[in-house]
Amino acid sequence: MKKKLIVLLLALPVIAGAQNKPALQAGEWYGEFSAREAYIPFKFEVVHPNALGKGAELTLINGKERVQLGTINYRGDSVFIPIQDYDTQLNAVLQGDTLKGELKRLYSDTDKGVAFKAYASDRPRFVTAGVSPYSLDGKWDVIFKGGKAPEKNVGIFSTQDGKLAGSILTNTGDLRFLEGVADGAGFRLSAFAGLSPYLVEGKFVDKDHFKGQFITSRGSQSIEGTRNQNARLADPYSLTQMKAGAKTLSFRLPDLAGNMVSLSDAKYRNKVVVISILGSWCPNCLDEMSFLVPWYNANQSRGVEVIGMAFERKSDPAYVRRTLTHLIEKHHPGYDILIGGKIGDGNKVLPEIKGIKGYPTTIFIDKKGIVRKIHTGFNGPATGLFYDEFKAEFNELIDQLLKE
């Protein structure tokens, strides 16, 4: 009996340690990032495969969007939530019912992190304050003030079941899935999908005009909006051009296995080729890849090929291998992904082009190897009808090139 008691007493610290191990409560959570100008709210959900929370998973929520981050890791009283898509991580400590920590950009040696706190709750992203005198629904010309010369962007918003959703389109991409409210205090929308938290807030001047702020963890910009149901961006096929006299591309780049690839390879001869200039760090590039992968699987047999040309944050081979391996394992592209170099190296790799204006940039090449069109940016599923228009134009262009 005495031996059994001793064994039990020795086991108590182990049992207590297991009981004190942090485990995030299953269900919805509400969080706030502490940005320079404001608190930026975000929402996520925790799912427990078992009662101990071992192998629990976290999913970020932005309107209709669900971003699954994968397994939550525990170490002592600390919680680590990796965000592999963007090489970032949520590092925190569970203090009572509150998770406190910071978003770290792992790719940066100088990143100071963005502080956040969160707690289990089904509370909405924003608490409403009265009834809005005007509606934000519809399309808007949106100007970002300050910095370089202002460009006209497009806001598209809609209200459903009391929730405001939408996005802002720029000439290089969109802000993806924003979610929020319009009320007596104006309007507020936010998003966090793993890279940077966003907050868009403003007040109506009248039913057709607003003034506000676009806020990130790095700072803020003033914005102004004018209602315009015909709001459009600049023609995305007009922003990036070939140099005078240039018609073809002469790159020769490696894939992850070290195989050198060029357009003169037999695989690409006499075929329509689509080149996506991308980065694994780029949200709009990931949106484009989510479109291109199933499209390629359905259309390759028609005589079309796709090439992904990746430009990463660093040139370190181990870093590039890690980031691109994750990209390939997650999206399973059946087409070649080539190593282009670091961000900004596109002008050296593709000297025939006047200058890469943004990521992604998509190049359309006909069966003779001639560059026919270059599309700057990508407006994805968060942009609704603009995304539908892009898909229709994309397929129409491919159909035309295949018929030639």
Q: Which pLDDT score, from 0 to 100, does residue 77 have?
A: 86
If we measure between CA atoms, which residue out of 86, 43, 47 comes closest to residue 191? 43
Domain boundary among 120, 155, 178: 120
CA distance 168 to 175: 6
Residues in contact with 360: Cβ distance below 8 Å, sequence separation at least 6, in sequence order = 173, 276, 277, 278, 282, 284, 285, 288, 377, 378
Structural domain harbouring 189:
138-227
Can you give the CATH number for the domain in which 310 is found?
A: 3.40.30.10
Confirm whether 240 is domain-assigned.
Answer: no
- For residues 310 and 380, membership in a common domain is answered with yes
Last residue of a domain, one of 87, 120, 153: 120
Distance CA 291, CA 135 (A): 32
**Do 396 and 283 fall within a single domain?**
yes
pLDDT at residue 213 tops 80: yes
Instruction: Read off the pLDDT of residues 216-231 as tens digits, 9 standing for 90 and up.
Output: 998 999 999 999 999 9
Same domain, 319 and 376: yes
B/e letters for 273-299, b = 16+ CB within 10 Å, e = fewer, are bbbbbbbbbbbbbbbbbebbbebbeeb
Per-residue confidence at 6, pLDDT binned at 50, 70, 90?
very low
Q: What is the tens place of the pLDDT at every residue in 21-77?
A: 678 999 999 999 999 879 999 999 998 876 555 578 899 999 999 999 978 999 988
Residues 9 and 107 in one domain: yes
Q: Is residue 129 part of a domain?
A: no
Domain count along the chain: 3
Residue 230's beta-bridge partner residues? Answer: none
Cα of 121 vs its chain's centroid, Å: 25
179-196 pLDDT per residue, tens: 999 999 999 999 999 999
**At which of 64, 88, 120 does a domain end?**
120
Q: Are residues 275 and 399 in the same domain?
A: yes
Same domain, 92 and 182: no
Residue 159, CB half-sphere, CA atoms under 13 Å: how many? 11
The answer to whether residue 234 sits within a structural domain is no
In the predicted structure, residue 8 carries a pLDDT above the cut 60: no
Same domain, 260 and 174: no
Quote the Cα angle for 211-171-392, to 5°.
115
CATH of residue 186 = 2.40.128.120
